[in-house]
Amino acid sequence: MNKKLAVAKWEFMEKIKTKAFLISLILTPIIMVAFGVLPSLLAMKPDESSVVIGIIDESRAIATSLAQKVDEKYRLPDGQPNYMIRELFDGTSADELKTLGNRMIANDEIEGYFYIPATVFDSGMVEYRAENVGNFRTQERFSRTIEEIVIEWRAKKEGYDPLLLRRLMANIDVRSIKVTGEGEEKESGFLETFFSAYVIIMMLMFLVLTSGQLLIRSVVEEKSNRLIEVLISSCSARDLMVGKIIGLSGLGIVQVTLWAVIAFVISAKFNASIFQLDIFLIALIYFFLGYLLYAAIFVAAGSPATTEQEAQQLTGYVTLLLVFPIVLAMPVMQNPDSTLVKVLSFIPVLTPAFMVMRMPIQMPELWEFLATIALLIVSVLGMMWVAGKIFRTAILVYGKRPTISELIRWLRAA
């Protein structure tokens, strides 16, 4: 046991001091936040001053109510109107007006203009011209408002009361309420279920990737500098393997814990309760077993590698295994009780991800928990045995990569 710990301590202390680890520790959450949050924050950012929008209203029936509605609905944070409407129509031809409008855009007098042809009530066609047509918010707000006016106009023409119509067409708000196994009601948004499962699986993935890659790298390094021979003339290959797994897992746990804290702080800020305790505890069991299984797969796949490139390649394949459940996340969430999903839950490499995803949506039955956990434990033990055998021989293979038949021979060897 002492030697395992000595190996674990060494791997942990030496790797945690490296720049590469510190960079990935800090940079990854920043990148993830940047990718996930920044675009929507930018898009949601309100305008800072009133935007002037031109209207060429050939129908003569829209501009006024449009200006009124937009003024009612959209205000800047300081209370000023968000949009100033400039009526450009003066009786001249549409082409001349468009030329005028384009010049005004070029001179920055207006942000853009809507061209509403006289036929709008029949065709429903409106044009928007602007330098920046990528500003979806302005377009969306105006087109929705113009649509309202057009619908009201059509309704009036057909003899319906526009107010009545609006009431009839009121949106439906769906509140989803989850019924737990005991028949209790529990309000839960989609976000909550989505996050609790997804966050755990993502963490598992990151933990496996971090520790797994470090593990293969360290084996490849020790092979290339031949220290492996000194190591296994000092302790057993098993001690070495287990020590490495413990030490590098510690490293992964540091990383994931730090990220979890960041995620927790952010979610607390948005008042989203992510975890339910019971689910979280069962998820931890799957997390732990899943981690051991993947670590063993990493050792088995990675220890025959003799160069950094080979290691990279092999890690790539294992990573695909990890990404697979995440690709399947959506169908699982939509249909957690389907036979296919149930069957797939029994494939050991998919079990942790699938069970964790299913739990918050619809609790699997007790026998499923027991059976999958039992199966997972058996496969962890089996995979660890295989990994140990391969590791024992592979660490002494320097030159060429072993063939499959050689790998099988190693497994048979005592």
Partner 1 sequence: MLKVTNLRKVFDRIIAVDSVSLEVKRGEVFGLLGPNGAGKTTTIRMILNIIQPDSGTVTFNGLPFREETWNIVGFLPEERGLYRKSKLINTILYFATLKGMSERAAKPVAMKWLERFSLVDSAHRKVEELSKGNQQKVQFIISILHRPQLLILDEPFSGLDPVNQILLKDILLELRQQNTAIIFSTHQMDQAEKLSDSICLINKGRVVVEGSVADVKKRYGKNSVHLEYEGDGSFLGALPYVRRADVYQNYAELELSDMSQTRDLLTGLDGKLSLRKFEIVEPSLHSIFLNVVGTPGSAAAQPRKATA
Name the site residues for partner 1 (rule: CB under 8 A).
2-3, 6-7, 10, 13-14, 18, 221, 224-227, 229-236, 396, 414
- Walk across the sheet containing 83-87 and list its strands: 83-87, 51-57, 112-116, 127-130
Decide the pairing of beta strands 51-57 and 112-116: parallel
Distance CA 176, CA 301 (A): 44
Sorted by sequence, the CB contacts under 8 Å of residue 175 that are 6+ apart come out as: 187
Q: Which of 227, 223, 244, 350 is nearest to 296 (CA)?
A: 244
Q: How far is the CB of 372 from partner 1 (least distance, A)?
A: 37
Q: How far is the CB of 230 from partner 1 (least distance, A)?
A: 6
Residue 378 DSSP SS3 = helix
Shorter beta-carbon distance to partner 1: residue 236 or 312: 236
Q: How far is the CB of 385 from partner 1 (least distance, A)?
A: 18
Shorter beta-carbon distance to partner 1: residue 15 or 358: 15
Sorted by sequence, the CB contacts under 8 Å of residue 178 that are 6+ apart come out as: 185, 186, 187, 188, 193
Shorter beta-carbon distance to partner 1: residue 57 or 222: 222
Shorter beta-carbon distance to partner 1: residue 143 or 225: 225
Q: How far is the CB of 216 from partner 1 (least distance, A)?
A: 16
Shorter beta-carbon distance to partner 1: residue 5 or 33: 5
Q: CB–CB of 295/321 below 8 Å?
A: no
Shorter beta-carbon distance to partner 1: residue 17 or 269: 17
Strands of 201-342, DSSP E: none
Sorted by sequence, the CB contacts under 8 Å of residue 398 that are 6+ apart come out as: 223, 306
Q: How far is the CB of 301 from partner 1 (least distance, A)?
A: 23
Residue 86 DSSP SS3 = strand
| 369 token code pair | 């928990």
Q: How far is the CB of 407 from partner 1 (least distance, A)?
A: 15
The residues that bridge with 49 in the sheet, in sequence order, are none
Q: CB–CB of 28/270 below 8 Å?
A: no
Shorter beta-carbon distance to partner 1: residue 60 or 226: 226
Q: How far is the CB of 414 from partner 1 (least distance, A)?
A: 7
